[in-house]
Amino acid sequence: MPSLSEETGGRVPALAPGATIGIVGGGQLGRMMALSAKYMGFHVGTLDPTEDCPTAQVADFQIVADYDDTAAIRELAERSDVLTYEFENVDADALDAVRDRVAIPQGTDLLRVTQNRVAEKTFINDHGISTAPWAPVNSRAELDAALGRIGYPAVLKTAEGGYDGHGQIVLRDASDLEQVWPDEDFPPAILEGFVDFAYEASILVSGNGEDHVTFPVVRNIHCDNILHKTIMPAPMDDGMQERARELAVALAKGFALAGTLAIELFVCADGTLIVNELAPRPHNSGHYTIEACDFDQYDLHVRGICGWPLAQPRTLTPAAVMVNVLGQHVAPTREAIAGHPEWHVHDYGKAEAKRDRKMGHITVLTDDAERTVAELDATGCWADITDRG
Ligand code: AMP
């Protein structure tokens, strides 16, 4: 394996250009990781069931197989010097089984913790960081008891496998209990107090096992639980930015983080920061970093897992707005491109533009985020988005 230096302290052993990075998952996050890896001179392989998937289009090779195909994971491990993943629902046992064949600098603890809401909330609270009040619940009786402590409104979430609001039931009052699973189908779950937040935000932190650097806190606007827009910076003062940075670094240190971790936050009107959830990978809300920062979240993910030194990323613009292009936005945004030379247009190369499927995104660098948001809205391309934050 081409190596830059021997392992030092907690730092991941450094890999030289020419080494091969294997990415489990072949979606847009893997594609943007691969683009960073390629400019640094790494080879890239990806494992994904869809032939010519977004990552494969920019990688050196693809293994076409299901994510949980252990023989395929072994093949990817054998053809790679370092293994990473672009989504969190990877089989941690399957990765552990190939650790004698390939470096997995992110480890599998990070995966196991972020795959399970009970483990995740416990980890966050153990590091002195606030979450919504919560309790594990595995039956209707446990739910009733937890509701007695936490009260309405609350959110019931499956402990595993949920994403973008799937596997969640909002309980506003006792009448919503009708939607709750019967005991025989009750999955391991958690009950969370409903947070009356002012807005949602996120912060990214990247590490190389030893050093940890952060990106600015950004504001996120969702519609139907899918990210619609990210605005950098979030409307918070330097003191709150610093508190967010401190909590991000505390979590990163707890994981001896290598690569990029996203932390989703609820920001309350009184300035309280509450962690909602973690994603052990680059994140949709960090796409803006590609144009707005000197090192983006993908560069730092690749550098981190390859044991390279990390500089604190700098923003190159006073503000930036990133807006997702879902299936229903492809046709109108393509028509609008001609009139918007300021748009940084990203298209993930997906074959089929299904409704609500993330097909691409657009980033605009600006000195006035509010004006840019108004201009984007005025194009009418996102006319179906009802929640404008
Ligand atoms: P999650 O899958 O946990 O990220 O939740 C999806 C979305 O549901 C979040 O982005 C919030 O908009 C909303 N949500 C989740 N948990 C809570 C909560 N405890 N209080 C208020 N809103 C929540």
- The SS3 of residue 62 is strand
What is the fold, at CATH topology level, of the domain defined by 20-104? Answer: Rossmann fold (3.40.50)
pLDDT at 4: 47
Give dist(CA 244, CA 214) in Å, integer.
9
Superfamily of the domain at 133-193: ATP-grasp fold, A domain (3.30.1490.20)
Kindly give the interhelix angle for 28-39 and 297-305, rounded to the nearest 10 degrees. Answer: 70
Site to probe by mutation for ligand 1, drawn from 134, 155, 163, 221 as the one with most ligand atoms within 8 Å of Cβ, is: 155
Give dist(CA 301, CA 277) in Å, integer.
19
Residues with Cβ within 8 Å of residue 386, at least 6 apart in sequence = 223
Q: Is 220 annotated as a binding residue?
A: no
Q: Is 193 annotated as a binding residue?
A: yes
Q: Is 18 annotated as a binding residue?
A: no
Ligand 1 centroid, distance to 224 Cα (angstroms): 11
Ligand 1 centroid, distance to 264 Cα (angstroms): 10
Rounded to the nearest angstrom, the gap between the alpha carbon of residue 146 and the centroid of all alpha carbons in its chain is: 29
Q: Where are the domains of the chain?
A: 20-104, 133-193, 199-388
Q: Give the E-state strand segments of 1-97 in sequence order.
A: 20-24, 43-48, 61-64, 82-85
pLDDT at 163: 67
How many CB atoms within 10 Å of residue 274? 18
Give dist(CA 77, CA 170) in Å, integer.
41
Nearest CA to ligand 1 atom 18: 194
pLDDT at 5: 43
Nearest CA to ligand 1 atom 8: 165
Q: Spell out a b/e string for 62-89, using b for 16 or more CB atoms within 10 Å of the CB, else e.
A: bbbbebebeebbebbbebbbbbbbbbbe
- Please say whether the structural domain 199-388 has been given the CATH code 3.30.470.20: yes
The answer to whether 251 touches 202, Cβ cutoff 8 Å, is: no
Nearest CA to ligand 1 atom 1: 165
pLDDT at 188: 96
The answer to whether 343 touches 375, Cβ cutoff 8 Å, is: no
DSSP class per residue in 103-135: B-TTTTHHHHHHHBHHHHHHHHHHTT-----EE
Ligand 1 centroid, distance to 382 Cα (angstroms): 22
Q: Give the pLDDT of the chain (389 residues) as one tens digit per residue.
A: 444 444 445 788 899 999 999 999 999 999 999 999 999 999 999 999 999 999 999 999 999 999 989 999 999 999 999 999 999 989 999 999 999 999 999 999 999 999 999 999 999 999 999 999 999 999 999 999 999 999 999 999 999 987 666 789 999 999 999 999 999 999 999 999 999 999 999 999 999 999 999 999 999 999 988 999 999 999 999 999 999 999 999 999 999 999 999 999 999 999 999 999 999 999 999 999 999 999 999 999 999 999 999 999 999 999 999 999 999 999 999 999 999 999 999 999 999 999 999 999 999 999 999 999 999 999 999 999 986 56
pLDDT at 386: 82
pLDDT (tens digit, 9 = 90+) per residue, 297-324? Answer: 999 999 999 999 999 999 999 999 999 9
User: DSSP label at 15?
Assistant: B
Ligand 1 centroid, distance to 165 Cα (angstroms): 7
User: What residues line ligand 1, using a CB cutoff of 6 Å?
Assistant: 132, 155, 162, 165, 192, 194-195, 200, 222, 225, 264, 276-277
Residues with Cβ within 8 Å of residue 27, at least 6 apart in sequence = 48, 53, 54, 55, 86, 87, 348
Nearest CA to ligand 1 atom 9: 225
Q: Is 167 annotated as a binding residue?
A: yes
Q: Spell out a b/e string for 94-131, using b for 16 or more CB atoms within 10 Å of the CB, else e.
A: bbeebeeebbbbbbbebbbbbbbbbebbebbeeeebbb
Residues with Cβ within 8 Å of residue 207, at least 6 apart in sequence = 213, 252, 255, 256, 257, 258, 259, 261, 304, 310
Q: Is 165 annotated as a binding residue?
A: yes
Q: Is 163 annotated as a binding residue?
A: yes
Nearest CA to ligand 1 atom 11: 225
Give dist(CA 180, CA 138) in Å, integer.
12
Task: Map tokens 């918070």 to a residue.
Answer: 236
pTM: 0.95
Give dist(CA 292, CA 278) in Å, integer.
23
Site to probe by mutation for ligand 1, drawn from 116, 147, 219, 276 as the one with most ligand atoms within 8 Å of Cβ, is: 276
Rounded to the nearest angstrom, the gap between the alpha carbon of residue 222 and the centroid of all alpha carbons in its chain is: 14
Q: Is 125 annotated as a binding residue?
A: no
- Closest to 290 measured CA to CA, from 59, 87, 31, 42: 31
The answer to whether 262 touches 281, Cβ cutoff 8 Å, is: yes
Residue type, 309: P
